[in-house]
């Protein structure tokens, strides 16, 4: 696993992660709008609590979804994307 595995992500304080009934999905709210998240992104962000490392999150999701192939690569790619979009930063 990459060096990213030891980093501890937290949600950027400019964003609010919540379930929106009207959208029937999790979203990231920010002052200029809203980002609708798919099920995979939601499952990952539900694990982000500012104490678990990326490696811990990968392990938890692998345990929760044992039949999902390539989950580690997908989670790492998500965190790279989320950091670029400034949805998350690292403790």
Question: Residue 29, SS3?
Answer: strand
Number of domains in the chain: 1
Domain presence at residue 91:
no
Domain presence at residue 64:
yes
Question: Range of 18's domain?
Answer: 10-86
* CATH code of the domain containing 62: 1.10.10.1150
Residue 10 to residues 18, 65, 91: CA-CA distances in angstroms? 15, 22, 7
Per-residue pLDDT of the chain (91 residues; tens, 9 = 90+): 678 999 999 999 999 999 999 999 999 999 999 999 999 999 999 999 999 999 999 999 999 999 989 999 999 999 999 999 999 999 8
Domain presence at residue 1:
no
Domain presence at residue 2:
no
Domain presence at residue 75:
yes
The pLDDT value given to residue 1:
61
């Amino acid at each position: 696993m990459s060096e990213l595995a030891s980093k501890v992500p937290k949600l950027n304080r400019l964003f609010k992660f919540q379930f929106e009934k009207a959208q029937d999905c999790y979203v990231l709210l920010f002052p200029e709008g809203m980002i609708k998240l798919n099920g995979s992104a939601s499952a990952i962000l539900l694990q982000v609590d500012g104490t678990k490392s990326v490696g811990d999150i990968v392990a938890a999701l692998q345990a929760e979804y044992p039949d999902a192939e390539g989950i580690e690569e997908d989670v790492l790619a998500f965190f790279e994307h989320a950091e670029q979009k400034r949805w998350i930063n690292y403790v």
